[in-house]
Amino acid sequence: MIVILDSNATENSKEYQQALDYLSRLPGIAARVHKVQGAQQTLTEIYLIGDTKTLSIEDLHALPGVERVIRISEEYRILGRHRDEQRISGFEYNGVKFSQDNLNIFAGLCAVDTPEHVEIMLKALHERGQICTRMGAYKPRTNPYSFQGHGKSCLPYVFELAGRYGIKVIAMEVTHESHVAEIHECLEQTGQPTGVMLQIGTRNTQNFELLKAVGRQQEFPVLLKRGFGITLNESLNAAEYLASEGNSRVVFCLRGVKTNMGDPHRNLVDFSHVPVLKRLTRMPVCVDPSHSVGTRENSPDGILDLMHTAVQGIIAGANMVLVDFHPEPAKALVDGPQAMLMSELDWFLEDIALAWQCYQQRQKLAEQHQYGRL
Ligand code: PEP
Ligand code: MN
C-alpha cells in the first residue's frame, strides 16, 4: 500500500509526524518513506510493506496530512502503474523533461575515442537544436582484449565540449559504482557544464549491487537497458531495484533480445513492447535501434533497417531514442558497423519527427473512435 501525504505535510509538520508515528506502529508492517521530486514540489509517499490486506483504505485516508491511499499489487510497487493510478510519472533533469508523453533523441558516439570526433558530433547536434547525446566512456566488452573505453580520462573534454555546445544530458554507461563517483567529481571540477543520465547496460541489468548503488544516489537519473536474455518481468524488477533504493527517475530502454531468431539482425527487435511498458509502468520508454539491429543494411526502399526499426518504436509511442552515430565509422573503436553517418543525421531526425507526428495523429484517432463507442 502507498500512503501519499499532502504536499504541505512536510517533514517538520505535526501532520507528517502523526501520520508517520501511526503507520510505524502498525503490527507486522514496515513503513518506508520515499520522496518524489516533482517539477513544483516534493511529495512524500509512505510504502507499507508486509501484510496490508486487513488495513482499511478509509482509516488510513482519515489520518492527518494524508491525501491519498493506493492499494498496489506486489509487482513494481514504485514504478508500476496501479489501478486508479494518479501518481505523477516522469521527471525533469537539468531542464529536460522525461515522461511518457514527450520525446527526446540521444544520438551520439557508442564509445568516446578522440576529442575531435566528440566535437564533430556535438557541434552537429547543436546546429540541429539537439540537447541530448550518448557518449560511452566505460564500455563492457565481450572480449577482455578489446578496447574498454577511455574511462575517466576522457570525461573532462567530453563534459567541457558538451557545455560548449549546449548539451544538457549525456547518456553514459557505468559498469561499476566507482564510475558514478568519477562522473560526479569530474562534473564538479569542470563546473557542471552538462548533465549525465547513468546507463545500466544489458549485461548488467541483473547486477543487483550495481543497481542498488545507482539507486542509492539521487543526483543522476538512470537509463536501464532491458536484459537481453531474461524476461520482461525480470527486467522490470531490476528497474524496481533502483526505485526501491530511492531513485525513481528511471527510463526503461528496449534494445532487442538475444536469439538467433533475430538473424540477420544482431538481436530480435522487441519494440512492440513499448505500449506494454507504458501500461505496466509509469516509466518513460526508450528504444535503441542500433544495438537491436546492429547493421547498416538497407532494404530495396533505400531506408536503413536501423531507421525502419527506430520509427517502429516511435510510432508505437516511445519517449526516447538512443542511437549510435560516428564521424568515421571505419575508425570507431566500438560498434562501427552499426553507426549512422553524420551525413544521415538530418534524414534521421526528420524521419523520427515524421513518426512522432504520426504517433500523435494515431492518438487523436484513438480518441475519436473511443468517443464514437461511448
Ligand atoms: C550501449 O548502449 O553502448 C550498449 C553496450 O548497449 P547494450 O547494453 O544494450 O548492449
Ligand atoms: Mn555499442
Res. 372 pLDDT band, cuts 50 70 90 = low
Distance in angstroms (rounded) separating the CA atoms of residues 239 and 34: 16
Backbone CA torsion sign across 77, 78, 79, 85: positive
Q: Note whether 160 and 124 are same-domain residues.
A: yes
Same domain for 28 and 148, yes or no, is no
134 and 220 share one domain: yes
Q: Are residues 54 and 148 in the same domain?
A: no
Check whether residue 27 and residue 113 sit in a common domain.
no
Mean pLDDT, range 165-189, rounded to an integer: 98
Pocket test for ligand 1, best of 175, 291, 320, 338 (most atoms within 8 A of CB): 291
Q: Whose CA is nearest to atom 6 of ligand 1?
A: 201
175 is a domain residue? yes
Out of 40, 55, 88, pick the residue that ends a domain. Answer: 88
Nearest Cα to Cα of residue 64 among 111, 17, 31: 17
On whether the CB atoms of residues 90 and 291 are closer than 8 A, the answer is: no
Q: Answer yes or no: is 257 within a domain.
A: yes
Q: Are residues 29 and 162 in the same domain?
A: no
Q: From the CA of 85, how far away is ligand 1's center (Å)?
A: 32
Question: pLDDT above 90 covers what percent of the chain?
Answer: 83
Which SS3 state, helix, strand or coil, does residue 125 take? Answer: helix
Q: Is the pLDDT of residue 83 over 80?
A: no
Q: Are 125 and 108 contacting, i.e. CB atoms less than 8 angstroms apart?
A: yes
Residues 247 and 360 in one domain: yes
Averaged pLDDT for residues 323-351: 97
For residue 80, what are the β-bridge partners? Answer: 281
* Domain of residue 276, CATH code: 3.20.20.70
Residue range 59-82, pLDDT digits in tens: 999 999 999 888 876 688 889 988
Mean pLDDT of 22-50: 86
CA angle 148, 152, 154 (to 5 degrees): 85
How many angstroms is it from 334 CA to the middle of ligand 2? Answer: 6
Q: Tell whether 333 and 254 lie within a shared domain.
A: yes
Mean pLDDT on 350-357: 98
291, 201: one domain: yes
What are the backbone angles phi and psi of residue 279, rounded to the nearest 5°?
-80, -40
Question: Of 23, 57, 88, at which residue does a domain stop?
Answer: 88
pLDDT of 259 reads 97
Residue 237's domain comprises 103-370
Question: Which grid cell sits at 278?
Answer: 507504458
93 lies in some domain: no
Q: What residue owns the CA closest to ligand 1's atom 10? A: 202
In the chain, how many domains are there?
2
Q: Whose CA is nearest to atom 4 of ligand 1?
A: 201
Same domain for 56 and 112, yes or no, is no
CB-based neighbours (< 5 A) of ligand 2, an ion? 110, 335
In angstroms, what is the span from residue 291 Cα to ligand 1's centroid? 6
In a domain, 25, yes or no: yes
Residues 115, 79, single domain; the answer is no
**What percent of the chain is predicted at pLDDT more than 70?**
97
Q: Which of residues 21, 56, 88 is at a domain's end?
A: 88
Question: pLDDT tens, 195-236?
Answer: 999 999 999 999 999 999 999 999 999 999 999 999 999 999
Q: Do 77 and 136 fall within a single domain? A: no
The pTM of the full predicted model, rounded to 2 decimals, is: 0.90
Is residue 244 included in any domain, yes or no?
yes
Alpha helices per DSSP H over 217-344: 232-244, 274-280, 289-293, 305-315
What average pLDDT does this structure show over 243-254? 96
Q: Report if residue 95 sits inside a domain.
A: no
- Range 48-52 average pLDDT: 86
Residue 21 lies in a domain: yes
pLDDT tens figures, 127-173 = 999 999 999 999 999 999 999 999 999 999 999 999 999 999 999 99
Nearest CA residue ID for atom 3, ligand 1: 110
User: What CATH number does the domain containing 58 carry?
Assistant: 3.30.70
Q: Any idea what the Cα angle at residue 142 is, between residues 136 and 147, rounded to 5°?
A: 50
Task: Point out the ligand 1 atom lying closest to the alpha carbon of residue 202.
Answer: 8
Average pLDDT score over the chain? 94
Residue 96 maps to a domain: no
**Residue 322 predicted with pLDDT over 60:** yes
Say how many Å lie between the CA of residue 110 and the centre of ligand 2.
Answer: 5
Q: Are 141 and 147 in contact (CB under 8 A)?
A: yes
